Amino acid sequence: MYSRRRRINYGRIALLIAVLVIIILLVMKIFSKNRYISKVEEALEQEITQIAGSISIVSKIDATIYENKGIKYTNQHEDIKRLMTFDGSLSEDMDKVSDVKILLENLLKSEKTEAAAELPAKDDGYYWIEADVFTKDRVLFFKVENEYNFDLYYDIENKTVYVKEKYYDEFSKKYNKVKFQGYSVTDEFRNIIDRMGDTPIK
């Protein structure tokens, strides 16, 4: 008497594994800590298609999200002095864009300092780097386009850069409750800011 061997359906097993992987990724995304620095790392790991934004000097940083007649607005900083803009779609701005990318990369190498609920007002005391990073990422068989909006605040006197502790949509009111996390910058970060800014950092 011979027993019949059951044929294994590898297609169904592969489909089940794929479904499990997707579920695990979704659960990890939902429960992962939404740390700002992790979002910078996430953006830099993807294929960057464009970086655009500006660098300004400000005296007072107010990152509160306001609302007026249903319209939300933010970045009500004081004494904004625009130093430069950069746009990765313009060939003449590629050096600036490269410098901004290096600033973001150096942020990942920097050591944490103190966290603050707000940053004190200082006459021309901060460089404000706005960087909108557009990326493409492959998720299984699909290419996904992402946009990240990063705001870095560099304290010129203390040589410390601040970002929010957690990353939210720039018009989410959850952003109002998040502290600024300080990072001591690398020499490369400081040198690039010195070169890009009109006011030398001493």
39-48, 57-66, 69-78, 108-117: lowest mean pLDDT where? 69-78
Domain harbouring 53, CATH code? 2.60.40
Q: What is the pLDDT of residue 33?
A: 55
Q: Which residues contact 155 (CB under 8 A, 6 or more apart)?
A: 119, 122, 125, 126, 161, 162, 182
Band (19; pLDDT cuts 50, 70, 90): confident
Tell me, what's the pLDDT at 172?
Answer: 82
Torsional sign, CA 112, 118, 122, 127: positive
pLDDT in tens, 166-189: 998 778 888 888 999 999 999 999
Distances (CA, A) of 183 to 135, 140, 171, 202: 25, 35, 24, 18
| 6 pLDDT more than 90 | no
Report if residue 99 sits inside a domain.
yes
Instruction: Provide the percentage of residues in the chain whose pLDDT is more than 90.
Output: 61
Token pair for 10: 């590898």
Tell whether 141 is covered by a domain: yes
Total number of domains constituting the chain: 1
Q: Is residue 12 assigned to a domain?
A: no
Residue 157 domain flag: yes
Asked if residue 112 belongs to a domain, the reply is: yes
Tell me which amino acid residue 145 is: E
The alpha carbon of 36 is separated from its chain's Cα centroid by a whole number of angstroms, namely: 6
72 located within any domain: yes
Distance CA 55, CA 42 (A): 22
Asked whether residue 93 is assigned to any structural domain, the reply reads yes
- Supply the range of the domain harboring residue 126: 34-196
Give the per-residue pLDDT at 200.
47
Straight-line distance from the first to the last Cα atom of the chain, in angstroms, rounded to the nearest whole number: 91
| pLDDT tens digits for range 89-107 | 999 999 999 999 999 999 9
Domain-embedded: residue 13 = no
For the entire predicted model, the pTM comes to: 0.79
Exposed / middle / buried, residue 75 (Cβ in 10 Å: 0-12, 13-18, 19+): middle
